[in-house]
Amino acid sequence: MNFSFSRQTQKANTEKTRQVKEWIYQALKLDEEIPISLSQLQCTEPNCPPLETVIAVMKNPVEQYKIHKPIAEIEYTDITQLIKETH
């Protein structure tokens, strides 16, 4: 039996995930005790790339951000631009 999947999800590199979290801590000036969750999801919105990254900062209330790129393609400038747009 052969199975074919039209779209496979890319798994994010652990080191790159750590780097992106570090950039988020720096850009938002967060206490390192505040957890951050990064999720890489398939984007279903029109004109959206196939994968997007959802960032959840576990404050009260939780802050959520989206970057329309997979984790592997995120750069520090993406984080700083996101912060400028939302704050």
Predicted confidence (pLDDT) per residue in 9-56, tens digit: 456 689 999 999 999 999 999 999 999 999 999 877 788 788 899 999
Average pLDDT over residues 50-63: 93
Is 7 a residue whose pLDDT tops 60?
no
> Could you tell me the two tokens for 27?
């850009």
Q: Phi first, then psi: what are they for 45, rounded to 5°?
A: -75, 150
H-assigned helices in 7-75: 14-28
Instruction: Give tens-digit pLDDT for 71-85.
Output: 999 999 999 998 888
| Higher-pLDDT residue of 66, 48 | 66
Contact (CB, 8 A) for 71 and 20: yes
Please state the separation of Cα 79 from the chain's center in Å. Answer: 9
